[in-house]
Each structure stands twice: as structure tokens, then as C-alpha cells.
């Protein structure tokens, strides 16, 4: 399920950017879910290297990507992000471990296979 991070992830056949939903774990073991077209840049923001990081992650480095999911469009990414945020921590950990059945079926449909 995890995918590699590309600074400018775009499909050559489609000029629309590829969207990513990610889960980050901080030094306290807390999980943060986010969405971005450029996860590497977003991580730099979260780490304070660039402006614009999430307040929830401020001062909680080190941060590690635990899951990265590629989505075809912004709407799918936003819907999946919201769905993941509704999960319990135990469910998120199962998702990270590779169990997409943790997600409701209407959200699993967004995942690329």
C-alpha cells in the first residue's frame, strides 16, 4: 500500500496532480492524518523547515510517515482523509499494517489497486 514520495507527482497522461493521504506518527506515538500533492514538502512544513505546518505536530518531532496512499483526485483524497480521521487509533494501526478492510467499503473504493 505505501508508495514512494515524488515532489511533483503527476501522471503523464493526465495533467492533474496525484493526491496523497498520509499518516504521520510523532515522538509521542500520536497519529496525524493529512492530504497533499507533495508529501515531502508537507513533511518539511510539519518539521518547521518551511512555513505552514500543522499546529498539532509542532514540537513533536521526530515525525515519520507511517502510511502513504495515492489517490486520483482531490475529492477522493479529501473523502479518504476524513474517513481515516473518523477511525480509532487501533483501526488506524490496522490500516497502517496493511488491512484496508478497516475502511468502510465506500472509502476503499477510492484506493488505487
Provide the CATH number for the domain around residue 33.
Answer: 3.40.1440.10
59 falls within a domain: yes
33: exposed, middle or buried (C-beta count within 10 Å: 0-12, 13-18, 19+)? buried
80 falls within a domain: yes
pLDDT at site 3: 44
96 falls within a domain: yes
pLDDT at site 113: 53
Cα 47 to Cα 3, 39, 51, 52: the distances in Å are 21, 12, 9, 10
The pLDDT tens digits of the residues spanning 15-47 come to: 789 999 999 999 999 999 999 999 999 999 999
pLDDT at site 17: 92
Domain hosting residue 42, numbered range? 16-108
100 falls within a domain: yes
Into how many domains does the chain fold? 1
3 falls within a domain: no
What is the rounded average pLDDT for all residues in the chain? Answer: 88
Mean pLDDT along residues 66-73: 96
Please tell me the pTM assigned to this model: 0.84
Amino acid at each position: 500500500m505505501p508508495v514512494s514520495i515524488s515532489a511533483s507527482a503527476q501522471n503523464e497522461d493526465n495533467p492533474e496532480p496525484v493526491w496523497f493521504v498520509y499518516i504521520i506518527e510523532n515522538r509521542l506515538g500520536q497519529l496525524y492524518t493529512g492530504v497533499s500533492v507533495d508529501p515531502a514538502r508537507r513533511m518539511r512544513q510539519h518539521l518547521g523547515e518551511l512555513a505552514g505546518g500543522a499546529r498539532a505536530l509542532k514540537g513533536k518531532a521526530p515525525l515519520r510517515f507511517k502510511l502513504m496512499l495515492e489517490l486520483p483526485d482531490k475529492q477522493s483524497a479529501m473523502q479518504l482523509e476524513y474517513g481515516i480521521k473518523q477511525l480509532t487509533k487501533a483501526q488506524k494501526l490496522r490500516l497502517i499494517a496493511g488491512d484496508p478492510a478497516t475502511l468502510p467499503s465506500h472509502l476503499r473504493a477510492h484506493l488505487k489497486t
